[in-house]
Each structure stands twice: as structure tokens, then as C-alpha cells.
Amino acid sequence: MDFENLEERRWLIATAAVVTQLCLGAAYAWVIFQIPLVQSLGWTEPVARTTIVIMMVSMGVGAFVGGSRADKGAVRRAATLGAILLGLGTLLTGFAATQGNLWVLYIGCGVLVGCGFGWSCVTSLGMLVRWFPDRRGLSMGLAFMGFGAGIALMGYYEPSMLTFFGGARTCFILGAAFLFLATGSARMFANPPADWLPKGFASTDARMTDVDSFRFSEAIRTPQWWMFWVMFFLSVMVGLGFVSQLSPFAQFALKKISPAITPEELVRQKSLIIGLASVFIALGPVLWAAISDHIGRRSVMITMFYVQSMFFLFYPYVSHLMQFAGIACFLFSCFGGSFAIIAAYAADCFGPGYIEKIYGTMLTAWGCAGVAAPVVFNLPVIKPLAFYLTSAILFLGFLIAIGCRPPKHKGPISVKGA
């Protein structure tokens, strides 16, 4: 087998995975930008909440089932099926809007989109773990950069699309785009040969191999798996809560910093801050993951949780526009970066052999956070109490990150990424 071609091929496969994650980010933006979309479809906010709960539960189911299929080597078929579910679910959401059928909405946007999301996500990430044992953090960072870019693009273009096309047609356009892009990318998916390693990367350097990896039944019985779950839950819950509240808080902070600001200037500066911060959702995974490849995943997680906790503690009292914007960008980078770091560290700790199923079940934390965030962050954002609570939540994550070290296993394991 020509290993030289495989060296080039892994970067093409990484590009395909980024495109898939871009589609997933755009689909996931439903969670963050749900209200204008639901209103354009003619339904109330409680309907959106119910749809999100169904979507989050389905995401965990899809991740577990999809991870099981990918573990058996059917990575291309698993990714293709996930892409089809994602696209069809989005198309069905548009059909539900035209018919005014609530149950079709629950099946389309809730069940199909959720299952397709979880299925596609774990398949692409597990594949990248195997192709990039030498740059595991960077590969996860690139994947979630695509995911963050999808969120940022939807946040920017969704209001215009809803105004110009309406809710139903927007869903039809996105569904067709997901089918074309995600399905096309999935056709490029493949796992590397069992005996392949990147050039210059000796087998003794590998953290764990497929042979000595933790099985799912072993991993889920370790305290570390549950530590990962809780850290994932806390990080995503805070990230979603902050993203959803950034607009009203930016408006409040700008009026506090410049009491004489005009309404037009207020809208302009608020849009600039939100747009700039959204870019860091995409940049965060690459930046933090690249750093983690040098100083270790655990060190990065400890740093992210601690600094975020301190920033939220003092955020209500910032008095300069640049301070406000800079902290917002940092917090957004941590939100995006946490996805990549936790995925890479889980692969370091449990090995690549069954990572799709192991990480797939961790995605239930993502789903639970999506449900909990609107409840926890329903406190008025302009009151310091909401920020003190958020700081305490992140400090809990900091304490857990300190105690999260690679579990012991019969096979050889290196703590280079720890």
C-alpha cells in the first residue's frame, strides 16, 4: 500500500470532516437562534423548547448508535446515513411549517435532525482521531472550527434569510444544502489501514492503539468518564447561556459605558461586538487545540475553566468597551475550544479503538446542557447574581479538571496529552 498517498489523503479527509462539521454547526444554530425561526414558522416559544428537548435526546441516541456502527468499520455508511437524516429532517421541518403540523416538526427537527447530528458528529471525530495520532488536538480543533463557523454563519445570515425567504423556504434551502454538502463529504470518509502511522511518528509514541484501547463497558465504569461528562455539561451550558444573553448584556453594558450613546450607534457597536465574538467560536477550537498539543489537554482545560470563572466574576463591572469586547471574544473562544479539547483528551485517555461510542455517549451531556441552559440563565442578565452563579459553575469545572487524570489500563498509555 502506498503510504505516501495516505499522508496526503488524510488532509483531504480532514477537509471533508470540516465540511460535515460546518453543516452540523449550521443545524445546531437552531438551539441558539431558535426564537426568530420558530416565530417565522408561526409557533410559540414553548414549542421551540419541546423541539429542542426532543432534538437533544435524539442527538445522544444518534451518537451512540452511530458510534457503534463506526466502531465496526462502517464509517462511510454511518456518515452518509447521518447526513441523509440531517438533510431530510431539515426538509421535513420546512414541510411542517407549510402544513402547520406540530408532530411533523417534532419528527423532522427533533428526531431526524437530532439523530443525524449525533450520528455524523461522532463518526467524523472518531475517524480524525485515527488519522491524526500525531496531531490529535489540531485535528479536533479543525473539525470544531468548521462547527463554530457554521454557527457564526447562521447567526449572521439567518435573519436575512428568514426575512427574504420565510421560515419554510429557509428550511428547504438548508436541507438541500445539508444533503448535498454533508452527503458528498461523507463519501470521502474512510479509516486508515490498521498498520499505518504518520511519517515520523513511531508506534511507541502513540498514546494508545486500537488493540489496547478501553472498551465502552470499561470506560463508562471509570470516574474519568463521568468527570468528562460533567465538564462537558458545565462548559456547554455556560457557553450556550452566554451566547443567548450576549445581545441584551452588550446593550446594557454599552449604555453603562457611554450613557449618551445614540440608538443607531448602540445597534452598530452591539452588532460589531457580537460579530467579532462569533468569529472566536470558530477560531477557539484551533487555537486551544494547538496549544494543548504542546502543553497538554489537562493543563488547557484547567486554564480555560479558571480564567473563565474569574472573568465572569468581574465582567459586570467592566468600564471600557475594549475590555468588554476582549472578554467576550475570549469566552466565545473557550466555548468553541472546549468541544475540541474534551474530544481530544477523551481519545488520549481511552484510546481510539472505541472512541465513537465512548465520546458519543458523552454527547448526552451536550444535549442536557442545551435543555438546562435556558433555565439556569433565565436570571436577569444585568444583575451580578447571574454572573456570580456562572463563575461558581465554572469554578466547579476547574476543580474537576484538576482531578481528571488518565485512567490506568492494562495496555500502555502515555500521559503526554494530559
Give domain status of residue 205, yes or no: no
Nearest to 79 by CA among 98, 62, 54: 62
Of 162, 178, 193, the last residue of a domain is 193
Residues 356 and 395 in one domain: yes
pLDDT tens-digit profile of 27-50? 887 655 555 566 666 666 677 777
Domain that holds residue 365: 216-403
Please report the pLDDT score of residue 395 as a whole number.
Answer: 97
CB 38 within 8 A of CB 48: yes
Give domain status of residue 325, yes or no: yes
Residues 250 and 126 in one domain: no
Residues 248 and 385 in one domain: yes
Give domain status of residue 206, yes or no: no
Residue appearing with cell numbers 457564526: 152
Residues 189 and 303 in one domain: no
Task: Characterize 260-279 residue by residue with b for buried, 16 or more Cβ atoms within 10 angstroms of its Cβ, and e for exposed.
Answer: ebeeeeeeebbeebbeebbb
Residues 291 and 343 in one domain: yes
Euclidean distance between CA atoms 240 and 25, whole angstroms: 13
Give domain status of residue 202, yes or no: no
Give domain status of residue 210, yes or no: no
Residues 40 and 7 in one domain: yes
Please report the pLDDT score of residue 300 as a whole number.
Answer: 95
Give domain status of residue 411, yes or no: no
HEC letters along 332-375: HHHHHHHHHHHHHHHHHHHCCCCHHHHHHHHHHHHHHHHHHHHH
Residues 243 and 187 in one domain: no
Please report the pLDDT score of residue 416 as a whole number.
Answer: 43
Q: Using DSSP, state whether 200 is helix, strand or coil.
A: coil
Residues 8 and 155 in one domain: yes
CATH, residue 397: 1.20.1250.20
pLDDT tens-digit profile of 338-350? 988 998 898 888 8
Residues 49 and 182 in one domain: yes
Give domain status of residue 201, yes or no: no
Identify the weakest region by mean pLDDT among 108-122, 250-264, 286-300.
250-264
Please report the pLDDT score of residue 418 as a whole number.
Answer: 47
Cα of 192 vs its chain's centroid, Å: 25
Average pLDDT score over residue span 63-80: 75
Residues 250 and 361 in one domain: yes
pLDDT tens-digit profile of 116-161? 998 898 888 888 888 888 888 888 888 989 988 888 888 777 777 8
Instruction: Give how far Cα 149 sits from Cα of 142, 373, 380, Å.
Output: 10, 21, 29
Give domain status of residue 341, yes or no: yes
Give the chain's domain count.
2
**Secondary structure (DSSP) of 141-173:** HHHHHHHHHHHHHHHHHHHHHHHHH-HHHHHHH
Residues 240 and 369 in one domain: yes
Predicted TM-score (pTM) of the model is 0.82
- Average pLDDT of the chain, as a whole number: 82
Q: Using DSSP, state whether 282 is helix, strand or coil.
A: helix
